[in-house]
Amino acid sequence: MELGLKDKTVVITGGTAGIGRACVDAFLAEGCKVAVCARSGDKLEQFGRDYAGKPVLAVKADTSVPEDMDRLAAAAFDAFGSLDVWVNNAGVYPSGNLMDISLEEWRHTLAVNLDGVLYGCRSACPYMRRQGKGVLLNASSFAANMPTAGRGAYGITKGAVQQLTKVLAAELAKDNIRVASYMPGFVSTDLNAGVTSESGDEALFNQAALHRYGTVREVASVVVFLASDAASFITGRGIEVDGGKYCVQNPWYAWQTE
């Protein structure tokens, strides 16, 4: 399938690890130029070494700071001459009951998972409007549909990202800018490594009809599709990438019957 992504410029926040890094690889495979950001200088330096000689730009920036997102957008445009796709991938996954989580961590979660998405969209939009076309993709989660007690701040922010995605899709449609989200189920990454020890593999497998963890590559493939011309009639929607997580009340059924 021709995806029409060759020579497009893609910005991926939180692109040095996990799903973000898998997205970098997937977009590069389609012939794209990719800019990433992270807060850690060490991670960016290692990322630059790993991708030396490839059309990749690494910028130190904090998604919760709107001026940093403006600077990231400008750097990507200056380096590659366009800004076609923006992937708001950066996120945090704190634990703690809503009555106990510190207000500092609560505000930080909102700042990164929700505010950072809006800032990224606002920074990318002027370039896309001038070009007459663009795609904004936001990291949501299955937790937007069904949050987890003890990790409520995360699910609350992801639910808000879903609403933000819908509103922006309507507001930007006349500018030929599509807005969509991708909603992973449980994917094995450093971000959620602590959940395995809390719940155990089998308990998590039993939540999904496919009875396994997802991989970062599987999510990245969906992100690339959503960015492409093949998804040109998809906007204002979240695409679940969750192995059939709670598609029925007993998704473990096929694995526990003869």
Please provide the distance, in angstroms rounded to a whole number, between the alpha carbons at the two ends of the chain. 39
Residue 2 domain-assigned? no
Contact assessment for residue 157 and residue 109, using Cβ atoms and an 8 Å cutoff: yes
Residue 155 domain-assigned? yes
SS3 content of the chain, % helix, strand, coil (to 5): 50, 15, 35
Is the pLDDT reported for residue 40 higher than 90?
no
Task: Confirm whether 154 is a catalytic residue.
Answer: yes
Is the pLDDT reported for residue 192 higher than 80?
no
Residue 1 domain-assigned? no
Residue 158 domain-assigned? yes
Contact assessment for residue 168 and residue 162, using Cβ atoms and an 8 Å cutoff: no
pLDDT in tens, 6-16: 999 999 999 99
Query: How confident is the model over 29-48, as a mean pLDDT?
Result: 94
Average pLDDT, the chain: 95
Structure tokens at 217: 């590559």
Q: Give SS3 for 17.
A: coil
Count up the domains in the chain and report the number: 1
Query: How confident is the model over 40-51, as a mean pLDDT?
Result: 92
CATH code for position 95: 3.40.50.720
Residue 67 domain-assigned? yes
Distance in angstroms (rounded) separating the CA atoms of residues 74 and 35: 11
Residue 15 domain-assigned? yes
**How much is the pLDDT for 41?**
86
Structure tokens at 105: 């961590």
For tokens 């906007």, the residue is 235
**How much is the pLDDT for 171?**
98
**How much is the pLDDT for 193?**
65
Is the pLDDT reported for residue 199 higher than 90?
no
What does the DSSP assignment read for 213-257?
-B-HHHHHHHHHHHHSGGGTT--S-EEEESSSBTSSS-TTGGGS-
Bridge pairing between strands 134-139 and 33-38: unpaired
Residue 193 domain-assigned? yes
Residue 33 domain-assigned? yes
**How much is the pLDDT for 257?**
67
Which residue range(s) make up the domain with 204?
Answer: 9-255
Contact assessment for residue 165 and residue 114, using Cβ atoms and an 8 Å cutoff: no
**How much is the pLDDT for 233?**
98
Is the pLDDT reported for residue 198 higher than 70?
no
Query: How confident is the model over 108-130, as a mean pLDDT?
Result: 98
Which residue from 169, 227, 237 is spatially nearest to 34, judged by alpha carbons? 227
**How much is the pLDDT for 188?**
84
Select which of 154, 182, 246, 253 is catalytic.
Answer: 154
**How much is the pLDDT for 200?**
77
